[in-house]
Structure 1
Amino acid sequence: MPPASLPPLPLSTAAGYQARHLLVLPGDVLVDEVETLAVSRFAGARWDVVPAGVEPATVAPRTAAPGEPGVLRTSRHTTLTGPFAPGPGLPPGSAMVFDVVTPRERGEAAFPGSGDRDGLGRAFPAGLPEKEERRAVDWLVEAARRLGGSIAVDVPSSGAPGIVLTPDPGVAVDMTLYSDVWLEPDAAQAVLGQVDGRIRLAMDGVDWQGPPAGIADKPLYRGEQMDPAVRKQIHAAADDVDIAALTSGEPLDGYGLLLDLGVDGMIAVEIGDEPDLPFLLRGLPWAAGGAVSYRVRWEPDDLAASQDEFPPMEYTVARKRSAGIVAALAKALHGAVGGEIADEAGFLVEPDDL
């Protein structure tokens, strides 16, 4: 729960070259959770000033004095200050607010008719954030979605905030499991088949038929003067390399499975090596050399609806049904190989919460 008594949100904390946004959270969120999500995304995230009653994940310079807010730094130029008490114009149920200051960096406006799943085109009609500000805004949207909160953008120095976005938690469907255990294809199908017997391996390919006939007799480019005999030797050597690669019996380093959901679309499970791990996993001994990733993705039939801020009811019903299956598949894989599960934003998820 947030502290019982919070200082009021200040009228202005940003200079002219900076943008000011708010992260607005409900009463069941802990301040520590905000820090965890920041550390999950930003390598240099740390408290400059720790709010009273919070145990920081890393060493901080000092603890806030009574009535003083904390300062969480996500980069050299971006800070979250708070928590503050919510002011007017914020959604019902708002319990604490973080005042976010970042460089104002704007680009082109959203292209008309392009997807705007999170409403950023509506929130920034004159030009979308880019660079540092875009990284901050994207994280704010994903943190608000994860914590059941909202964000207010371009908050003026005085008065109520203008545009408030409340990201739909149901949008985040896909999950990834990271583990140091490799499941062979048949074993993965057996594990996932306990969740849904319709899942099938997707490993069928097309036999290579060799290079096109006569390719060794054709010049590489218009005007090429290579000796025909030399050209044939080069192509023959390339063929030998291809044949050796196709017959070497190299170990499998990736494969997939598919689950056809009919009108709800399809779920794809992709298994392979993963060198690029979420920040929170990179220091773990079992992940020091990379890991195996098990990506569980929903592919809806209506891709256009998937990028709508307010999609049709048919789509949201299909998404909810599919999300339950995605979560069950991820949990089944975790039961077989252990590791850690992350959501679409790279935030870790407890298997018991699925």
Structure 2
Amino acid sequence: MASLPRLRAEDPTIRRRHLLALPEDVGPDEVEVLAISRFAQARWEDGELPQPRGIMGPMTAALGIRAVGSSVAPARALRLARLSTLTGPYRVEADDAVSLGLPATSTLAYVLACPRERGEKPYPGGDRDGLKRAFPEGMPIREEERVLQWLVAAARRLGGSVRTGEHGTVLTPDVDSAIDLTVLSDSWLEPDEALAVVQSVLPRARLSEPTGTWTGPQPGVGRDAGGRPGWVAEAGGRGLSAALEQHGVEDEAERQRLLDEAAAYDELMIAVPPVPEAYGVLVDLGHDGTLSVEAGAETTLPPLMRTLPWTANGVVAYRVHWEPPFIEELEAERPSFEHRVARSRAAPLVQSVARAVHGAIGGEIADEADFLVDPEDV
């Protein structure tokens, strides 16, 4: 079996490119699946490696061009987007990893070729992925932003790192920083049914309901100050009766008929409220924050799911979300110890609830990056 080509740190082209560094147990098929999960047209390309426009530096032997008959297998190019390819895998020796500032666990690498597209300097605020730290002069935009965000998400999922080109900043996203899960199914659970499923895991769960209810117009509403059929005017307004007159409804009987119809509609909505199109189930975790299950229609599916027969008639998303006591810590690249402790206690609860919902309705489970998760791994 041919060995992998070596990624040579001394090659200046390598140092100008964005790299995805991975542990030795990650296969190309896993990288391919994550690419297809984000980019609908992702595919391996055979033959000579392409040179997209806007790429810094020439194509060199370090990027996969090998002599015919060599015992070294040529690197392959995985097309991500129109102008972007990910080439690899390459073998990373220990001294090359040290020279590039990569973690010692980095034994495989992929090289990203993409346009250099930059916008404004980063705004203050959260930076969970570290991209603001990596690009202080101007944030990536358009295609470079999309592929870099995917690169970081893939590194988080696969336990790897990303090395950015210009400054050589190494980003090693915390694999535990994104714990939310979403169950995607063609089955709709009524609020009470969903509550029962969540309560089978967390008995303290309750439906998220408004704090007050509307019981219709107050007594006396429907007559203006002169006793005529009308409506109580809002502050600065003239009332419904005056509005009807303004639109040519001057007949007293017609105004009364319209007002009676409005009152009847209100009574119907109170007696038989419309079926909810979305709802939530809440669980108070005390010092660890709040866990919620938010159910609603999903219109944007991962590319891997768009051609499945059962998604043709619509999909319902059940988002299992953890909200910490201090919400801003969710976007911190290095959150506090207290946040990490609370997250470590909330993560298995999120997984248990997602597993219970999936067991009740089937479908697929996706993580925060819309990468599908095997239910057996949850």
Give TM-score scaled by structure 2 length. 0.78
What residue is the counterpart of 1:165 in the other structure?
Answer: 171
> How far apart, CA to CA, are the structure 2 residues paired with 1:319 and 1:240?
50
| Partner-residue secondary structure (3-state), 1:82 | strand
Residue 22 of structure 2 is aligned to residue 25 of structure 1: yes
Q: How do residues 242-321 of structure 1 correspond to structure 2 at under 5 angstroms? A: 243=266, 249-321=273-345
- Give the superposition deviation at 1:329: 0.3
| Partner-residue secondary structure (3-state), 1:43 | coil
Structure 1: which amino acid aligns with 2:108?
M
Is the contact between residue 257 and residue 268 of structure 1 (CA under 8 Å) also seen in structure 2?
yes
What residue is the counterpart of 1:110 in the other structure?
Answer: 122
What residue is the counterpart of 2:237 in the other structure?
Answer: 218
What residue is the counterpart of 1:7 in the other structure?
Answer: 5
Q: What runs of 5+ residues in structure 1 fail to find an aligned partner? A: 51-63, 156-160
What residue is the counterpart of 1:37 in the other structure?
Answer: 34
| Partner-residue secondary structure (3-state), 1:94 | coil
Q: What runs of 5+ residues in structure 2 fail to find an aligned partner? A: 48-65, 222-230
1:99-122 deviations in Å (ceiling 9; x for gaps): 00111111112223x111111111
| Partner-residue secondary structure (3-state), 2:89 | strand
What residue is the counterpart of 1:136 in the other structure?
Answer: 147
RMSD of equivalent CA atoms: 3.1
Residue 138 of structure 2 is aligned to residue 127 of structure 1: yes
Structure 2: which amino acid aligns with 1:110?
P
| Partner-residue secondary structure (3-state), 1:167 | coil
Structure 2: which amino acid aligns with 1:144?
A
What residue is the counterpart of 1:192 in the other structure?
Answer: 198
- Give the superposition deviation at 1:167: 0.3
> How far apart, CA to CA, are the structure 1 residues paired with 2:233 and 2:320?
44
Structure 1: which amino acid aligns with 2:188?
W
- Give the superposition deviation at 1:186: 2.0
1:248-293 deviations in Å (ceiling 9; x for gaps): 6433322110000011110110112222221111111111122111
> How far apart, CA to CA, are the structure 1 residues paired with 2:123 and 2:360?
44
Paired residues, what number?
A: 327
- Give the superposition deviation at 1:227: 2.9
- Give the superposition deviation at 1:239: 4.3
> How far apart, CA to CA, are the structure 2 residues paired with 1:213 and 1:100?
65
Structure 1 residues 92 and 133: CA distance shift in structure 2, 3 A: same
Structure 1 residues 103 and 191: CA distance shift in structure 2, 3 A: same
> How far apart, CA to CA, are the structure 1 residues paired with 2:184 and 2:279?
15
Give TM-score scaled by structure 1 length. 0.83
The range that moved more, 239-248 or 144-153, is 239-248
Is the contact between residue 198 and residue 357 of structure 2 (CA under 8 Å) also seen in structure 1?
yes
> How far apart, CA to CA, are the structure 2 residues paired with 1:203 and 1:93?
48
1:53-74 deviations in Å (ceiling 9; x for gaps): xxxxxxxxxxx97521100011
Is the contact between residue 37 and residue 143 of structure 1 (CA under 8 Å) also seen in structure 2?
yes
Is the contact between residue 177 and residue 340 of structure 1 (CA under 8 Å) also seen in structure 2?
yes
- Give the superposition deviation at 1:12: 5.2
Residue 83 of structure 2 is aligned to residue 77 of structure 1: yes
Aligned pair partner of 2:349 in 325, 335, 345: 325
